């Protein structure tokens, strides 16, 4: 084992894919001969905690700032993100050697050529799992479990429009290795993540929050997925107030939270900021009380970010 | 064959890799079930013409502007480039669906996720050839010849520091399929490309020219590879004057031409514009008469672009 390790990290406000894919990819690189260490930008959410416990995997080390964590620099591989605002702070002191992602490519730029593998699939773990398959690498049971969980999470058990045939086929190859039944394990996992009863309003609107920039403005979009939206929508005004506090303290042009109903496959999008015109244009609909109801909408990446950034142009 | 084809294009001022990889990748996509058509941004240079003649392959259609070429839009796949300044004009009317490249990632941005495969190897055709291998696709003799030629061209017969073990191994797998001897065919091919006797000074400084942007400034860097630099360096002042005409007519901050000696593996870098300080800083050396001699330097991508853009910051 060399002293120099390759760090593998997902995005800020880490979700299941960012943590599980980082662990799975670091293990893949290590199996292929490059010592690699997964890290993450923050604590696992409830869903990811359920998964780490189920497969008895340790929580990766948390890195809040690269300059303090690795004062001498080092190699960094980005998983599940590429936009600068989603990368752990201080990353410019690191040598970014590669990206595996399934999102839009944002402001990512390098001086020299690096390895980049991006595919429009539903989950980064789908890409990582196929690296194991393509390179005839054995997949340990726990790693298969983490990658399967990430696919279930990102595709909401294959219900999301971001889910591709490749995601489903990959999950079906991973399930027997992981030793779980996709449907029953998947529902248990999603239920664990959908428990919002003990979250404060501030925590709710910051769930899986990401920043995006367009036309010189920065916005934030969070997403919280539940089995039933009644409880959250009952305190709609409080949530808009929490969004406004989040927005003004970060100087965002607007702050959004997607309240996604996993079973009905729909989303209530709430927001604060001067965004009525943007939302109205983005979804070609009238807006009311800082919110809009969107049927057949579960995917931030595919159904929310492109129209909103498009309307901001 | 559907009416809608996927267009596959390399960069402006196309070199051998941009044309051969576009043809090879379009054939790969077609074999995989997606009808694809290679195009290119301009006429093949002497080296590429030698190759197309040798393998009896038609010159791809030239596209000068997408808006006039495909007024109804269509799908576009970029090979061997990603920076906006290197893409054929008018591409914003097209739907860019993917990128295969081996250069730095520049200002490439998409609204939604797309397919991107970038590797720090010496040649785009190395990536494309391995797609055939990984997908168990048969490689037609002519396509193997084009990809082998691209690898020989980009790596200058494996002499360039950009050449990786994967480039060499891929070339060695392609040669028997193409039915040529790498060394003798490669030297013939490079000689055909290195014949500069009938080029005007303006054509010389525009050879394989690419634009790059940093810190709000745009520069151009061309490269001409020869077996002997004596003839070109004898008219050094005329070439600097041609660079200045090129620079001022395009409002570049600076225009560079790499005069690369294939056999000695060195480069004379000439330039015009207010670039003395940048060049001096980039290569940590004194500059004289708008030029600098660089030993062991053949790669624009790896040895010229990163230090120059770094010094411009």
**Rounded-to-integer distance, Cα B143 and Cα B179, Å:** 11
pLDDT of residue A146: 98
**Rounded-to-integer distance, Cα A222 and Cα A213, Å:** 14
Rg (CA), chain A: 19
* ipTM score assigned to the predicted complex: 0.73
**Rounded-to-integer distance, Cα A196 and Cα A182, Å:** 23
What is the set of domains in chain B, with CATH numbers?
A: 6-193 (3.90.1640.10), 201-312 (3.10.310.20)
The answer to whether B99 and B115 are in contact (CB under 8 A) is yes
The answer to whether B224 and B266 are in contact (CB under 8 A) is no
**Rounded-to-integer distance, Cα B204 and Cα B13, Å:** 12
Question: What would the pLDDT profile of B123-146 be if each residue is shown by its tens digit?
Answer: 999 999 999 999 999 999 999 999
What one-character-per-residue DSSP string does B97-149 give? EEEEE-S---S---SS--EEEE-SSS-HHHHHHHHHHHTT----HHHHHHHHH
Geometric angle at alpha carbon A261, from A256 and A263, rounded to 5°: 160
Question: What would the pLDDT profile of A204-217 be if each residue is shown by its tens digit?
Answer: 999 989 999 998 99
What one-character-per-residue DSSP string does B194-230 give? T--TT--HHHHHTTT-EEEEETTEEEEEEEEEES--H
Would the pLDDT of A110 be above 90? no
The tokens describing A158, both together, are 């294959």
How many C-alpha atoms does A293 have within 13 Å on its Cβ side?
7
The tokens describing B157, both together, are 């017969």
In order of B199, B212, B286, the CA distances from B281 in angstroms are 32, 18, 9
The answer to whether B90 and B65 are in contact (CB under 8 A) is yes
Question: What would the pLDDT profile of B80-106 be if each residue is shown by its tens digit?
Answer: 999 999 999 999 999 999 999 999 998
- At residue B281, φ and ψ (nearest 5 deg) are -70, -40
From B105's Cα to the closest Cα of chain A, the distance in A is 5
Average pLDDT of every residue of chain A: 94
Taking contacts as CB-CB distances below 8 angstroms, the residues of chain A near B103 are: 113
Q: Do B105 and A108 touch (CB under 8 A)?
A: yes
Q: Which of A111, A113, A312 to mutate to test the interface with B (most CBs of B within 10 A)?
A: A113
Which helix (DSSP H) or strand (DSSP E) does residue B259 occupy? strand B254-261
Residue at token pair 């109903």? A261
The tokens describing B197, both together, are 């006797």
Return residues 134-163 of B near A (CB < 8 Å): 134
């Amino acid at each position: 084992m060399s002293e120099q390790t390759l760090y593998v990290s997902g995005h800020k406000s880490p979700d299941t894919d960012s943590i599980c894919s980082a662990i799975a990819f670091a293990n893949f690189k290590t199996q292929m001969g490059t010592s690699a260490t997964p890290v993450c930008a923050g604590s696992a959410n409830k869903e990811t905690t359920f998964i780490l416990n189920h497969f008895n995997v340790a929580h990766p080390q948390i890195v809040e700032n690269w300059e303090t964590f690795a004062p001498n620099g080092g190699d960094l591989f980005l998983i599940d993100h590429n936009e600068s605002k989603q990368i752990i702070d201080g990353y410019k002191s690191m040598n970014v050697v590669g990206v595996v992602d399934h999102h839009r490519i944002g402001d990512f730029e390098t001086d020299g050529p690096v390895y980049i593998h991006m595919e429009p699939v539903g989950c980064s773990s789908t890409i990582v799992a196929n690296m194991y398959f393509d390179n005839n690498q054995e997949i340990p049971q726990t790693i298969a479990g983490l990658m399967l969980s990430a696919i279930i999470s990102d595709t909401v058990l294959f219900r999301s429009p971001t889910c591709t045939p490749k995601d489903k086929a990959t999950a079906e190859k991973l399930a027997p290795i992981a030793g779980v039944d996709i449907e029953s394990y998947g529902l248990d996992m999603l239920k664990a993540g959908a428990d919002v009863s003990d979250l404060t309003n501030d925590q709710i609107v910051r769930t899986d929050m990401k920043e995006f920039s367009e036309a010189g403005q920065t916005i934030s979009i969070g997403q919280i997925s539940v089995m039933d939206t009644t409880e959250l929508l009952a305190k709609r005004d409080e949530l808009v107030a929490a969004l406004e506090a989040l927005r003004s303290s970060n100087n965002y042009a607007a702050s959004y939270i997607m309240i996604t109903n996993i079973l009905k496959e729909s989303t209530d999008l709430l927001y604060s900021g001067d965004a009525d015109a943007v939302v109205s244009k983005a979804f070609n609909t009238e807006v009311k009380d800082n919110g809009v109801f969107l049927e057949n909408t579960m995917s931030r990446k595919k159904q929310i970010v492109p129209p909103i950034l498009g309307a901001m142009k």
